[in-house]
Structure 1
């Protein structure tokens, strides 16, 4: 039996589909991610999202919106491939009808591990995106993600690749909970109403809801992670020092860039799950044939 003749329920995604889908989505939403990083690293609120967009384009050209794209793609092919792979593999092993609390637990573990695996690419990604904001003589000018990681190891030591890893892993833990577990919950709930079927409208609706949950849960971690990764060595003694610096502008400083974060994470999440579902439906395999 060919894949084309299989029903949707018979098709199962390969473990790496999540990483591939995330990388495809990142290629589409990278400019939004770059603007979010620029907004979060402002000490004072000088620009909104529109103003930051105009500033970047005016100073460095339209292609500057894609600074750090190679690192962003590498991040998804490490971080997201790990978390999706663990989560989907566990679901397949245990069966489709997992209770939500079990999905929540495994998604958080998967996210934590993925955050550690993806931290080097994530750190280089933040640096490459933020490079244009600093004086030209101080810019790092990494050629690509691999050049960035090589130079970090050579010039600063391998441990610097894991700057902010505790915050990255913690954020990834809640991000994966908000995205994967809640996507499954929203999708299942929608389909149980009888008004939705397993189609792109359901995928879009469920992923939008998951994006909203994930954004609210992770924004404080995201702000601190960005600060820690972009800081000069020794700028912060730890998480507490970073948090205290952010608090100078008040508690809302932890939610700086919330709207652009959702504007970026919303499309990223929606496109990831739409691409993922399409990969499953068109390139998935029949379990009995794979034995």
Structure 2
């Protein structure tokens, strides 16, 4: 199926991405809130858990706040997921030809996933930044469009790519873990002989892959959220500016556990979400395979 033209890979990735975001977006809002939180534990405004964050957001701001800023992710999901899967397929073909590899292998899957993650990062940074600014509890922006206008006016056009380096770290590690584990999991799962069994295997493999990717990239995601939520002031050096120093700062000031702030909502989203992505993408590619051959 990966030999289908790029347009079919792109459309399949877009449909998969939008399906996942519609189901899982509230978990992303909660994850971002917890990652940006610096209030001391035990204070009234602090989130003590994922459930507590859900409860306080709904009680204090209304249920609709759980979908606040979804416009940017919806606009992002089509190109983001389309690039993720189509780049993974395209880079896979490139590396197989480059290294003379005939079949799939886990090292090749990890390399391909990491490269696809780097490619994807350049597409998603502005959308991610807008989403973070809107989701922040202290946000005064009217919406995604207002974020763009205000940032360009106050911080310059290139501010829309604040956090690119951290995004590269986040997406390279997640994609390497996701696609690398999918490759291995598919070989270990019982052989599928029916469409329902293939869907089951894709759901299981994608969920394991999404969980692994999340374990690897959460520290980088925490720092990325901090970097992108910071308004840049001319002449002032932001506290969070580069990824690895940012990781060290969070660990030193808040403890190692702080590098996994928001992990539970994140893994609940990207674990099952990874399964949803793989199932929908595979089904779309199967549909387009039949369509292209008819």
Contact 1:212 1:262 (8 Å CA) reproduced: yes
Residue in 1 that maps onto 2:267: 262
Residue in 2 that maps onto 1:185: 184
**Gap change, CA 1:204 and 1:237, over 3 Å in 2:** closer
**Gap change, CA 1:276 and 1:69, over 3 Å in 2:** same
Greater relative contact order (CA < 8 Å, ≥ 6 in sequence): 1
Structure 2 counterparts to residues 23-42 of structure 1, below 5 A: 23-42=18-37
Aligned residues: 274
Deviations 1:112-133 (A, max 9, x none): 1211221000110111111xx1
**Gap change, CA 1:87 and 1:24, over 3 Å in 2:** same
Residue in 2 that maps onto 1:213: 212
5+ residue gaps, structure 1? 1-8
CA shift at 1:182, angstroms? 1.7
**Gap change, CA 1:10 and 1:162, over 3 Å in 2:** closer
Question: What is the aligned counterpart of 1:243 among 244, 247, 257?
Answer: 247
Question: 1: CA distance between counterparts of 2:183 and 2:149?
Answer: 38
Partner SS, residue 15 of structure 1: helix
Deviations 1:73-131 (A, max 9, x none): 2222233222221111234564872222122112101101211221000110111111x
1:148 aligns with 2:150: no
Residue in 2 that maps onto 1:21: 16
CA shift at 1:158, angstroms? 1.5
Partner SS, residue 185 of structure 2: helix
Question: 2: CA distance between counterparts of 1:158 and 1:267?
Answer: 36
Residue in 2 that maps onto 1:203: 202
TM-score calculated relative to the size of structure 2: 0.83
Question: 2: CA distance between counterparts of 1:284 and 1:11?
Answer: 9
Contact 2:223 2:240 (8 Å CA) reproduced: no
Q: Which runs of 4+ in 1 moved over 4 A?
A: 9-13, 92-96, 191-198
Contact 1:71 1:125 (8 Å CA) reproduced: yes
Provide the aligned C-alpha RMSD in A. 2.7
**Gap change, CA 1:55 and 1:109, over 3 Å in 2:** same
CA shift at 1:10, angstroms? 10
TM-score calculated relative to the size of structure 1: 0.84
Question: 2: CA distance between counterparts of 1:25 and 1:197?
Answer: 20
CA shift at 1:212, angstroms? 1.8
1:230 aligns with 2:229: yes
Question: 2: CA distance between counterparts of 1:280 and 1:196?
Answer: 14
Structure 2 counterparts to residues 268-283 of structure 1, below 5 A: 268-283=273-288
5+ residue gaps, structure 2? none
Deviations 1:35-79 (A, max 9, x none): 000011111342111111111111111111001111112222233
CA shift at 1:227, angstroms? 0.8
Deviations 1:207-245 (A, max 9, x none): 121122111111111111111111221432632553344
Question: 2: CA distance between counterparts of 1:50 and 1:286?
Answer: 44
**Gap change, CA 1:10 and 1:166, over 3 Å in 2:** closer
Structure 2 counterparts to residues 44-59 of structure 1, below 5 A: 44-45=40-41, 46-47=46-47, 48-59=49-60
Question: 2: CA distance between counterparts of 1:108 and 1:259?
Answer: 24
Deviates more, 1:189-198 or 1:89-98: 189-198
**Gap change, CA 1:11 and 1:161, over 3 Å in 2:** closer
Partner SS, residue 254 of structure 2: coil
